[in-house]
Amino acid sequence: MADTGRKRPWLAAALAFVYPGLGHVYLREWFRAVLWFGLVISTTTLLVGDEVTEPLDSGVTLDALRAVYQNLPTVATVALLALTVLSMVDAYWMATRENRMADIVEGDKCPNCGKELDEDLAFCHWCTTDLEQYRTEQ
């Protein structure tokens, strides 16, 4: 039986590829989602001038979008690509971390070695990892 509370890290990363912040919306990390949305909007506002978006004045078409993409400055393209990659990495990491924390809270597996835990102990009896720091993060 699949655990419905677990998040899919690759789905979070794929959504962040579509638009930075969407992966965080999937994870219900609202503050981070707004942060990524704001970073993309502010970067676009600062690095892309009005002359680049002029083809969109007559309407949003494929040709207009292609013209805007071709007119983008290299600095803006690199900055937006970097934001997208960083958002993907952050969404993947957050999903993985959330799943690991859920395992610890449920007492299933050690975050360090992945072996079964004894619920009565505050550390992993296999690798001696202190679990209290992980349990208090939740």
Structure token pair of residue 120: 């009565």
Query: CA nearest 91: which of 3, 12, 7?
Result: 12
Q: Name the band, by pLDDT with cuts 50, 70 and 90, for residue 129.
A: confident
Ranking 18-22, 45-49, 97-101 by mean pLDDT, the lowest is: 97-101
For residue 123, pLDDT beyond 90: no
Count of structural domains, the chain: 2
Tokens of 59: 């309407």
Domain extent for 122? 107-138
pLDDT at 2: 47
| Three-class DSSP labels, 90-114 | HHHHHHHHHHHHHHHHHCCECCCCC
Give residue-wise pLDDT tens across range 68-104: 888 899 999 999 999 999 999 999 999 998 888 776 6
Cross-strand bridge partners of residue 109: 116
Does residue 31 fall inside a structural domain?
yes
Same-domain pairing of 134 and 69: no
